[in-house]
Amino acid sequence: MNRLRQGATGLVLALALGGVSVAQTRTPEVQAYVQPRAGITDVTQVRLVIEIKGAQNPQVENPSIGGLENLRMLRNRPSVEQSTSFINGQVSASYRLIYTLLPERTGPASIPGLKVKVDGKSFTTEPIRFEVSPSPKRPEESGTEDNGRGSSGNVVFVETKLSRDEVWVGEPVMSTASVYSTLRVHDIGLAELPSFSQFLANSIPVDINAEATRAEIEGRGYAVYPVRRDLLIPLGPGTYTIDPYTIQIQVQSRRDAFDLFARGTTVIRKTEPTTLKVKPLPDNAPAGFGGAVGDFEFRASLDRVEATVNDAVALRVTVEGAGSLKAIDPPVWTEPTGVKVYDPEDNLETDIRNGTLISRKTWEWVIVPLAPGNIELDSVEFVFFEPRRGVYRTSTAPSLQLAVSEGDGLPIVGSGGDRSVISLDQKDIAFVKQLRGAALAYAAPPLYARWWFASLVLLPFFWVPYFVWLGRRRDLLQRDQGLARGRRARRRARKALRVIKKKMPESDSASFHETVARTLVEYVGDRFNRAPSGLTYELADELLAGRGVDEIVRRRFRACLETCDFARFVPASSKAARRSEVLEEATKLIDTLERAC
Amino acid sequence: MLSGLHRLFVIGLLMTTLPVAAETAEEAFERGNEAYAAGDWSTAAAEYRTVLDFRVQDARVHYNLGNSEFRLGRLGPAILHYEKAKRLDPSDREIRANLGFVQGYRFDRVEVAETFLLIKKLQEAQEALGLDGQAWIVVGLLWISGGLLAWGLARPGKFGPGYGWVLTALAILLLVTGLSWWNSFERLERRRFAVVMAPATEVIAGPGPSNPSLLTIHEGLTVEILEEREDWIQVSLPNGINGWIATQAVGRV
């Protein structure tokens, strides 16, 4: 028995100690490493892993990754992995922050020691150094250049093409990045974009598969996938180098075609930087030049040739053609006298046709004639630079005529008119209102804010509970006849006494006293739910005593009954004054008994 | 204690600030109408303003003043007074027609989403009855329902199922009219509006001149007031854009 007890104690101690060792908080270990650990080439995506071991659900602040040598980060935000394993009775937890890096060139690369804060404590990882080697040739990915262009075998390469090598300031140029491949490719994505800091850049949507074409280069057939198109408008003169596009491509080799589970190989390709020469615009820009560069057509029109005073007339000026009209000023024209002109509204529409930007911009001025007569709007001029011929051109729309009549004589309104007014059927405002005997209303609180109206609203909510009580009481009385008699007793007795009083002058003494005595007995009978016929004076006294009625009151009750009996049998003893006293005493007695019972 | 001279001064001051006691608001109103009929819109406007000095709150006065202001070419004040008239009597067709006509002269084009026909008809009915009319209907239904309920409660077990159906129908009717009143109250009374009185004013992103300008609105545009802060009010434009404008640029409806 003792052995058993000792063994159990030992087991409990061992388990407890073991539990403590598991529950003990160990100091976390933080280390950084890269994956793959070896064989990193200039096209390999490198995973920088920061691993924290020995901490359960650690609070980790993302470290600042800086000072990278020959590496750049593809995504600033790390992905997080967490795992817990149980090996040989040891619990081990691991928390990993993973960054994706890309080598910039072949040669040495390094990651400095990174400061990582875990649960409020700072740790510094060891610096990492490795060598970036040139990517080896594989049959399906031949070519060691960044863009992947090679001379033999199967090739996947990328290329940026500019629609022009030399343009003027403000002249649009299209930059297209494409993938050329002799193999099947899928999941093409952009890993990095150029900055385009010297340009006004607009991305043009591309449907990679729908726009794929075929091309033959040096006798070899390629599928060409346009990946990205950017419309660039140079903001100033100079020679600009456009940074490379970095493109990630999933390549499927011919060998993979027979493998149902093959996911292909991911390759990273970078286009070559491209150079664009931007020429400054000539200095001799005519007055009115608003920055438009392209080949444009220009027209101006009024939405009508006849109007009345105070009508709203629209002057529309439209410029349309190849080139950008995004940031240009409206054409200049001289306002004639006798009209009010409002600031124009503009509308810009753009489209890409055969790789060329087509723009159409419309300005619309609202003109309100203030007086009748013929108004001539001077010719409107639009100045633009035509890059094809390298000259400024001035396009002129002919002058416009507007005949203004008196109209319906509406007053000239300070803020002008609106186009919608002409579509109204009503020609004028209705006449002023008359009193017609109805006095004017004075400022007063609204109906809902008046106290009596609030009372009207609230009253039904008060009477409903009363009727609920009334209904219940009626129901109770219907069910309990004794209670009903008791409740009615006083009322009936008082009523009977009133009748007796009324008939007192003509009634004889015997019948008067008999009725008074009967009323008193019937009152007691009603109060105690007893038949009056079987109610003797003694029994009535007993019942009253049973309800705790005072001895003096009972005596008064008995005396009143006896007085009535005596008067019934000795009528001469009762005078008129005496009768009134008896009646008054009976009335008082009923009130007293009502309170006492 | 005021001296005799001071007392005279105070009485004189009161006489200049209050309308002449012998004149009534109705007389000033009639004079305004006569001036308007004679084409003297400026005198008419002055007379209608005199009527308002009597603390008159009558849709007809604001309507007539709106007419006079429009004739005088003052679009902002005209729309402001029509809006005030509409607030006092939303069911009046002439007020709505004149307001609609004058609003056509605004520079800003207002595109209002089309309301469903059923909702439009319901709103028209609400406006025709007005808040007071709907309030009386609610009280009437409340009394009828309350009376019927009390009758039933006072005589339990005396009524058949028909009583319950009638009471249910009345309760539903009461709920609908009550909700309709509340909706009208929220729509017509609680919401505050203002009309732009300045020829043009900038709507800016915050209450203060240092905030960037969002757009420019022009005289006569009706905006909803959302918030007020010192000299600035936050407004909601008819197309849903919110911004801040200077208080002095608008007149409150």
User: Is residue B150 less than 8 Å (CB to CB) from chain A?
Assistant: yes
Last residue of a domain, which of B167, B190, B213?
A: B190
The pLDDT assigned to A2 comes to 45
Residues in chain B: 253
Q: What is the mean pLDDT of residues A171-192?
A: 85
pTM of the predicted protein model: 0.40
| Range(s) of the domain holding residue B217 | 192-252
The pLDDT assigned to B156 comes to 72
Last residue of a domain, which of B139, B162, B190?
A: B190
Alpha-carbon gap, residue A223 to A212, rounded angstroms: 7
User: Do both B85 and B29 map to the same domain?
Assistant: yes
- From the list A412, A418, A446, the residue facing B104 with the nearest CB is A418
Of A238-252, A285-299, A309-323, A409-423, the least confident: A409-423
In a domain, B110, yes or no: no
In a domain, B150, yes or no: yes
Last residue of a domain, which of B103, B134, B165?
A: B103
In this complex, do A440 and B25 lie within 8 Å of one another by their Cβ atoms? yes
Does ipTM exceed 0.85?
Answer: no
In a domain, B111, yes or no: no
Q: Does the pLDDT at position A242 exceed 60?
A: yes
Tell me the pLDDT tens digit for each residue of B114-123.
778 888 888 8
Bond from prior residue into A205 cis (ω within 30 degrees of 0) = no
Contact call for residues A374 and A404 (beta carbons, < 8 A): yes
**In 10 A of CB B33, how many CB atoms?**
20
Q: Does the pLDDT at position B80 exceed 60?
A: yes
Q: B 77-136 residues with CB below 8 A of A? A: 88, 94, 97-98, 100-102, 104-107, 109, 131-132, 135-136
For position B200, which CATH number holds?
2.30.30.40
User: Do both B204 and B231 map to the same domain?
Assistant: yes
Q: Residue B104: closest CA among chain A residues belongs to which residue?
A: A421
- Most confident segment among A135-144, A180-189, A261-270: A180-189
- Tracing tokens 């491209």 back to the chain, one arrives at A274
In this complex, do A443 and B55 lie within 8 Å of one another by their Cβ atoms? yes
3-state SS assignment for residue A86: strand
In a domain, B109, yes or no: no
User: Do both B22 and B63 map to the same domain?
Assistant: yes
3-state secondary structure A194-251: CCCCCEEEEEECCCCCCCCEEEEECCEEEEEEEEEEEEEEECCCEEEEECCCEEEEEE
Judge residue B185's burial from the number of C-beta atoms within 10 Å of its C-beta, 0-12 exposed, 13-18 middle, 19 or more buried. middle
Contact call for residues A132 and A42 (beta carbons, < 8 A): yes
User: Do both B183 and B199 map to the same domain?
Assistant: no
Q: Does the pLDDT at position A94 exceed 60?
A: yes
3-state SS assignment for residue A358: strand
- Most confident segment among A238-247, A365-374, B59-68: B59-68
Q: Which helix (H) or strand (E) holds B95?
A: helix B93-103
Q: Does the pLDDT at position A218 exceed 60?
A: yes
3-state SS assignment for residue B1: coil
For position B16, which CATH number holds?
1.25.40.10
The pLDDT assigned to A425 comes to 44
Alpha-carbon gap, residue A554 to B131, rounded angstroms: 67
- The count of CB pairs under 8 A between chains A and B is 149
In a domain, B13, yes or no: yes
User: Do both B45 and B99 map to the same domain?
Assistant: yes
User: Do both B70 and B133 map to the same domain?
Assistant: no
Per-residue pLDDT band for B34 (boundaries 50, 70, 90) equals very high
Tell me the pLDDT tens digit for each residue of A280-335.
999 888 888 888 899 998 889 898 888 888 788 889 899 999 888 887 888 878 88
Eight-class DSSP state of B185: I
Contact call for residues A417 and A311 (beta carbons, < 8 A): yes
Alpha-carbon gap, residue B182 to B123, rounded angstroms: 12
In a domain, B153, yes or no: yes
Strand partners, A30: A52
Alpha-carbon gap, residue A399 to A586, rounded angstroms: 120
Of A128-142, A152-166, A303-317, the least confident: A128-142
- Most confident segment among A16-25, A64-73, A518-527, B9-18: A518-527
Position A35, amino acid = Q
User: Do both B167 and B143 map to the same domain?
Assistant: yes
User: Do both B136 and B206 map to the same domain?
Assistant: no
- For chain B, what is the domain count? 3
Q: Residue A475: closest CA among chain B residues belongs to which residue?
A: B156
Q: What is the mean pLDDT of residues B157-163?
A: 79
User: Do both B216 and B139 map to the same domain?
Assistant: no
In a domain, B227, yes or no: yes
User: Do both B23 and B81 map to the same domain?
Assistant: yes
User: Do both B38 and B24 map to the same domain?
Assistant: yes
The pLDDT assigned to B195 comes to 94
**Residues in A touching B155 (Cβ below 8 Å):** 471, 474
User: Do both B33 and B62 map to the same domain?
Assistant: yes
In a domain, B67, yes or no: yes
